[in-house]
Amino acid sequence: MDTVPADKRSEIMRRITSKDTKPEIIVRRIVHSLGFRYRLHKKELPGKPDLVFSKRRKLMFVHGCFWHQHDGCKSSHIPKTRRSYWKPKLNRTVFRDRENQAKLRELDWDILVIWECEVREVQQIAKKIIAFLGK
């Protein structure tokens, strides 16, 4: 049985946001410090990418390991409680990510996905971003 009361669980879930997450803000600071400028969450693009570099036709997603089920990451587990709810929910997110990325590639965009667990290594992320965007 779930150890957290339903009203408390609802409160916790309400606080989860899709924009301006800690990992996203860290990546934005790194990108900005490298001298790159970007737009945020362009609604007209599939999946509303986190960072968009229009002139370069490149964009970045900063994905949470749990919500987007990062392969091989310890944070990408399916919760033990209410598995019948969580498994389809998380699988839909992964499917939607794949669909959106396929649509973006058809529109000739290059995509970089940065995972929440990678953000801790600032130097590695900076190298990855420079390699992706060119400098």
For residue 31, give the nearest of 111, 124, 125, 109 by alpha carbon.
125
Q: Where are the alpha helices (DSSP H) in 1-135?
A: 6-14, 22-33, 83-106, 122-133
List per-block mean pLDDT (blocks of 10 residues) for the chain, which spans 135 residues.
60 60 94 95 93 96 92 86 89 95 97 95 95 88
Query: What is the model's pLDDT at position 76?
Result: 83
Angle at alpha carbon of residue 51, lines to 47 and 52, rounded to 5°:
85
**How far from 114 is each of 54, 79, 84, CA to CA, in Å?**
18, 23, 28
CATH code reported for the domain at 16-133: 3.40.960.10
Query: What is the model's pLDDT at position 8?
Result: 65
Query: What is the model's pLDDT at position 1?
Result: 47
CB 110 within 8 A of CB 59: yes
